[in-house]
Amino acid sequence: MSHPHPELPLPPALPSKGLRIVALGGLGEVGRNMAVLEYEGRLLIIDCGVLFPEDHQPGVDLILPDFEYIADRLDDVEAIVLTHGHEDHIGAVPYLLRLRRDIPLVGSRLTLAFVEAKLKEHRIKPVLRVVAEGQTQRFGVFDCEFVAVNHSIPDALAVAVTTGAGTVLHTGDFKMDQLPLDGRVTDLRAFARLGEKGVDLFMVDSTNAEVPGFVTNEVEIGPVLDTVFAQAEKRIIVASFSSHVHRVQQVLNAAHAHGRKVALVGRSMVRNMGIAAELGYLDVPPGVLIELKAAGSLPDDRVVYMSTGSQGEPMAALSRMANGDHRVAVGHGDTVILASSLIPGNENSVFRVINGLTRLGARVVHSGNAKVHVSGHASAGELLYCYNVLKPKNVMPVHGEVRHLVANAALAVRTGVPADRVVLAEDGVVIDLVDGKASVVGAVPCGYVFVDGSSVGAVTENELKDRRTLAEEGFVSVFAVVDTATGKVLAGPQILARGMAEDAAVFEEIQPDVVAALEEAIAGGATDTYQLQQIMRRVIGQWVNRRLRRRPMIVPVVVEA
């Protein structure tokens, strides 16, 4: 198996009739999925999603793919193919279209409806190309065939991209539920047909590659929800992804069966389910959906709140309920159902919400104690099945953390794919498909791009390090006035600490040492205020570290009289 080396050089020029693949996100992480394919100087992008920040990225709203690799080649982009409508596949589209607004967006009807609604908020009118399974369309030098795949959102598509270099099959996110709620199974007949024709590179979802066997069918969730609804004495709050149409459908059905009304909570939930119902992907039983404000007047045993926030997002509805900061006040006897799986990295946030809701007296039902959710990603058994059906010449695991990619690669080798034909890559690693062989040829710079409020890319890792220091170690400011002519400290040092438990008086013992260090430096010829500030920083820092066992952020200010 081909592993990327941390010191990979920049890639050479792409050989004639070669196909280049560069993932700008989604390899080594769950989210931020984006792949760029290049052939004969033209580019095709598959997905353009966001990654949600973790606890060690304070203040960050979203994390985008790094567009720098294609920033000066946007006119070469033929289209952006979107495999499905989840945020980790479409969330960064508005930020890319800010750079070139007329790039065609290609996807299924529901996927493009979700994207169009999102772009309306960014005041961007997109160029849309609606496609469906079974269709083939040409975008410049790329022939694209779209294949139905099953996922935790309707209308998901895999895409087979054919060029003179061969055929690449990209699954997007998929599983092989044989009894899907909408009757739309992963089209294994199309996979087999593509396999017969020859798949030169199989780019395959890795998220569940470590999980043995097959994913449970979605239909098995309905009876479990029905049982939970039957046992619930008071209000029911169900949290899921705002795009999980199938789960919302099951909640609507269970509510209807038990004489309850459903109120949608959260702007994205209301928007997405409105779109899904309008396009016929969501079948709303008559009279079941009500406005949020009307739900408060109903008896507790007659209402269901369908909410966002299943991943513990701080500003989402469920987190605010857990903190007692939402119009829906969770209380004793209420039932809360977390109808989603844990995205890696969100565990602490989710457990914090569960504890908060439990403290308020609610019964919390989640995938750890009941079968209220099934994954949308193929497990090991399903992946083995795909490898055997397709018999791909080369394999490139995508979508997952490093452990998922490695597990998926091992599955490919077990089915007979030669180890030297399985390419393990991370974000920015360049793969060339030349003469039927895929290989690592270099790497391009590819970092995280942070969205913080209205700023995009302004926050760097250094700023995040400062934020973490402020949060964990505190802040110390030091102010002094010096006269370089006489070599004396005229005022200060005045030391102010924030975020530290110690009394301010503790700093009095270091003040003489700061004065002595400054006066000694001036006597030695130091007159530059920056130099003097660094001396204050060093003296205070060493003392705080030794005396208080802390490493706070220290901001020294020296003013010359």
The annotated binding site for substrate is made up of: 373-377
Pairing of strands 395-398, 429-434: unpaired
In whole angstroms, how far apart are CA 326 and each of 266, 271, 315, 346, 360?
11, 19, 10, 21, 13
23, 425 in Cβ contact below 8 A?
Answer: yes
Residue with tokens 């279209």: 97
Name the residue type at position 265.
V
How far apart CA 120 and CA 261 sit, in angstroms, is: 30
Other C-beta atoms lying within 10 Å of the C-beta of residue 359 = 11
Annotated binding site: 373-377
Q: Residue 246 belongs to what H/E stretch?
A: helix 245-257
137, 114 in Cβ contact below 8 A?
Answer: no
Closest CA to 430 of 23, 16, 13: 23
How far apart CA 292 and CA 235 sit, in angstroms, is: 13
Pairing of strands 34-39, 19-25: antiparallel
Closest CA to 46 of 71, 73, 65: 65
How far apart CA 316 and CA 351 sit, in angstroms, is: 15
